[in-house]
Amino acid sequence: MKVVALAGGVGGAKLADGLAQILEADKFKVIVNTGDDFDHFGLRICPDLDTVCYTLAGLANLETGWGRKNETWNAFESMDELGGPTWFRLGDRDLGTHLERTRLLAEGSSLSEVTARFCRSWGIKSSVLPMSDAHIPTRVYTDQGEMAFQEYFVQYACQPQVSGFAFVGVETAQPAPGVLDAIRDADILVICPSNPWVSIDPILAVPGIKEAIYSESNRLRVIAVSPIISGQAVKGPAAKMYHELGLQPSALNVAKHYGARSNAGLLTGFVFDEQDVDQDAEIAGLGIRTLVINTLMRSKADRNRLAGEVVAFGRSLTGG
Amino acid sequence: MKVVALAGGVGGAKLADGLAQILEADKFKVIVNTGDDFDHFGLRICPDLDTVCYTLAGLANLETGWGRKNETWNAFESMDELGGPTWFRLGDRDLGTHLERTRLLAEGSSLSEVTARFCRSWGIKSSVLPMSDAHIPTRVYTDQGEMAFQEYFVQYACQPQVSGFAFVGVETAQPAPGVLDAIRDADILVICPSNPWVSIDPILAVPGIKEAIYSESNRLRVIAVSPIISGQAVKGPAAKMYHELGLQPSALNVAKHYGARSNAGLLTGFVFDEQDVDQDAEIAGLGIRTLVINTLMRSKADRNRLAGEVVAFGRSLTGG
């Protein structure tokens, strides 16, 4: 069984890590959102991509959910002393990543080449693919105006009320090399418990990616894992966004967001938390096979367990 | 007595620090070489300017002669793990300076505005002026080809044999705001014990600077302090450059490099080390007043002592 995952953010990184742990390296690839990439201090910063890579490499800071473990903050403090902007915290070890990525990009390397190179250095055996080598910045429409994603997410701490999103330049962007093949080769596509609007939708918006998912309809099982548990997001603004967009944050509404494959949507199967078992009939009623289990990932063992259950669920389904 | 100094490198930073210590803040300004500025990892790095500022602020690493004290290297190590270039070592605290400078320059601030802002943050009361807001990169002609200054200085560790220098774009550059006024207002101009070719000549090559020195000929005393002691440079490649350019490294040849004011050159006075007292008659014979003292600056007290002696020497001279 070959598995490809779509991921962004901490929940996505955790499940991707579980999948990387339980699957052979050549049987697992993860396609990562880059819509939250931005330039800061002249450096190209790719938070979702780095979170996935740091997590797979065992370098992630498990306490904060972002950045690196054993981190120091001397560059940031020195910059702060000079009156620079402190809304986006940059650790010293993390800065090394941004410095070398920025240098390689300026030399003409693509983001996917840089990512592959970094993964080799970090000992990551699974393929980590940015969704695109093009810069496709997510813009957030809010009651305080339109803003860049990191502005919304970090600088404004998700406080503005969102009304919509745009993925700038996505119409003319191409998937990064390997992305379409990874989808076409896969038996199971896992949509990780990431924010549907700002982590997964940017990936799905890249021309060709949805088409690749549909083109293998007879084989590919598409399974999403709900990032919403008991009406709340484990981390991040997903539940808040649901409310602001006029929807109840629920597993059901996550399933509806992606839609049933049998009804022109994406999903063959849907995995959600046992706390939401009361929604099972209604989700199944959409024409989606369901798996109701404990989906919380608190420990490394939780990641592997959830990954194992998702893959076993996928095996049990008929493709398409 | 108002004093302006021309400086670059460690020796220049040390004497500038001595002058800043013994003179009132509004009586001392230092004009710094920026010909060694370069871009690395997308960041604008100004080694001479930072060495002067760190030294004046008490932040300099006295052991290495470059960078900051209490420095850590985590960003650099993280970048090194990714296979990035390690020839130019970047400390974490030092990186904070480059990050914020790069950000402010990209926002449209000039290098002199950024420098003034940083000096305020660091508690530096004397004015530190980059020679120009324009980027005037020094190129070094060597037996291994033409190269950027930091390439020669750091990457190749000054090993190539030099045959000449170019200051790219200097013809159309302007002195930074305040530079010409600092020279016109001064009673004494001190050419610090910096490398004549790659620290001082880039400053003197900026259009308007030599003219400002000459325009005040009736008042301004121009005093150079020899960076060569007993045929050797205290630090850096100055002596090696002399040899490669076919000249004996000596106090005499430093004096000849700048020339006597009385003979269409710059110098009213020349300060050199007592180890070279045998050259006194010949230097005086150029038409330059001499001061032969201990010029080595090993301690902070040495800096202040040398600064005091240079200023006293300047007072004793007649301008022009």
Instruction: Please choose, from the candidates B73, B85, B103, the residue with its C-alpha nearest in 3D space to the C-alpha of residue A75.
Output: B73
Which residues does chain A have with pLDDT short of 50?
Answer: none
How do residues B122-181 score in pLDDT, each as one tens digit? 999 999 999 999 999 999 999 999 999 999 999 999 999 999 999 999 999 999 999 999
DSSP codes joined into one string, A159-176: -SPEEEEEETTGGG--BP
On whether any CB of chain A is under 8 Å from the CB of B107, the answer is no
B123 touches chain A (CB under 8 A): no
SS (H, E, C) A94-114: HHHHHHHHHHHHHHCCCHHHH
Q: Which member of A43, A68, A100 has the closest CB to residue B82? A: A100
To which H or E segment does residue B158 belong? none
Partner residue facing A83 (CB), from B76, B106, B121: B121
Q: Are B135 and B37 in contact (CB under 8 A)?
A: yes
Q: Which tokens in the block code for residue A311?
A: 């893959």
> Nearest CB to A106: which of B42, B68, B76?
B42
Rounded Cα gap, residues B241 and B232, in angstroms? 11
Of B80, B84, B100, the CB nearest to A103: B84
**Does B125 reach chain A within 8 Å, measured CB to CB?**
no
Contacts of residue A79 in chain B, CB cutoff 8 Å? 96-97, 99-100
Query: Which of the 8 DSSP states describes residue B176?
Result: P
Distance CA A160, CA A153 (A): 9
Residues from chain B contacting residue A122 (CB–CB below 8 Å): 81
Given this model, what pLDDT does residue A11 score? 94
Residues of chain A contacting residue B68, judged by C-beta atoms under 8 Å apart: 78
What class does CATH assign to A3-36+125-136+168-316?
alpha beta
State the pLDDT at residue B177: 98
Measured between CA atoms, the residue of chain B closest to residue A59 is B78
**Farthest CA pair distance, chain B:** 60
Chains A and B form CB pairs within 8 A to the count of: 122
Query: In this complex, do A99 and B77 lie within 8 Å of one another by their Cβ atoms?
Result: no
pLDDT truncated to tens, each residue of chain B (320 aa)? 899 999 998 999 999 999 999 999 999 999 999 999 999 999 999 999 999 999 999 999 988 888 999 999 999 999 999 999 999 999 999 999 999 999 999 999 999 999 999 999 999 999 999 999 999 999 999 999 999 999 999 999 999 999 999 999 999 999 999 999 999 999 999 999 999 999 999 999 999 999 999 986 668 999 999 999 999 998 899 999 999 999 999 999 999 999 999 899 999 999 999 999 999 999 999 999 999 999 999 999 999 999 999 999 999 997 65
What value does the CA radius of gyration of chain A take, rounded to a whole number of Å? 19
Residues of A in contact with B74 (CB under 8 A): 71-72, 74, 91-93, 96
Per-residue H/E/C for B212-238: HHHHCCCCCEEEEECCEECCEECCCCH
**Taking CB atoms and an 8 Å cutoff, what residues of chain B touch A43?**
41-42, 99
Question: Are the C-beta atoms of B91 and A96 separated by less than 8 Å?
Answer: no
Find which of A76, A77, A92 to mutate to test the B interface (most B CBs within 10 Å of its CB).
A92
Cα distances (angstroms) measured from residue B209 to each of A213, A302, B8, B131: 67, 69, 16, 9
How close does chain A come to B58, measured CA to CA in Å?
14
Inter-chain touch A100–B84, beta carbons under 8 Å = yes
Q: Which residue of A has its CA nearest to B116?
A: A82
**pTM for the predicted model, two decimal places:** 0.94
In sequence order, what are the beta bridge partners of A4?
A: A29, A189
**Phi–psi pair at A257, nearest 5 degrees:** -55, -45
pLDDT at B300: 94
Give the integer Cα–Cα distance in Å for B314 and B308: 10
Min Cα distance A92 → chain B (Å) is 5
Optimal mutation site among A40, A89, A95, interface B, most CBs of chain B within 10 A: A95
Residues of A with Cβ-Cβ distance to B60 under 8 angstroms = none
Listed in sequence order, the DSSP H helices in B157-247 are: 179-185, 201-204, 209-215, 238-244
Mutate to test the interface with B, among A99, A115, A117, A124 (most CBs of B within 10 A): A99
Q: Which of residues 22-61 of A touch B (CB under 8 A)?
A: 40-43
Among the partner residues B75, B100, B121, nearest to A92 by beta-carbon distance: B75
Kind and range of the H or E run holding A214: helix A209-215
Assign a CATH topology to domain B3-37+125-136+168-316. Answer: Rossmann fold (3.40.50)
Q: What pLDDT, on a 0 to 100 scale, did the predictor assign at position B218?
A: 64
Is the alpha carbon torsion for A98, A99, A102, A107 positive or negative? negative
In a 10 Å sphere around its CB, with 0-12 CB exposed, 13-18 middle and 19+ buried, how is residue A17 labelled? Answer: buried
Q: Supply the pLDDT for residue A66.
A: 86
Q: Which of A40, A83, A92 sits opposite B92 (nearest CB)?
A: A92
Query: Looking up tokens 């896969």, which residue turns up?
Result: A186
* A93 touches B at CB < 8 Å: yes
Residues with Cβ within 8 Å of residue A62, at least 6 apart in sequence:
A69
Q: Where are the domains of chain A?
A: 3-36+125-136+168-316
Tell the residue number behind the tokens 């997903």, with chain if given.
Answer: A238
A74: contact with B, CB 8 A cutoff: yes
**Which residues in chain B touch residue A71, judged by CB atoms under 8 angstroms apart?**
74
Cα–Cα dist B30/B125, whole Å: 11
Residues 6+ apart with CB under 8 A from B199: B7, B8, B9, B12, B33, B35, B48, B192
Q: What confidence score (pLDDT) does residue B319 get?
A: 62
CA distances from B191 to A41, B5, B66 (A): 35, 6, 20
Q: How many angstroms away from the CA of A191 is the closest CA of chain B?
A: 29
Cβ–Cβ gap B81/A42 under 8 Å: no
> Is B95 part of the contact surface with chain A (CB cutoff 8 Å)?
yes
The CA distance from A101 to the nearest CA of chain B, in Å, is 9
Q: Do B117 and A78 touch (CB under 8 A)?
A: no
* Kind and range of the H or E run holding B119: helix B111-121
Closest CB to B95: pick one of A85, A95, A103. Answer: A95
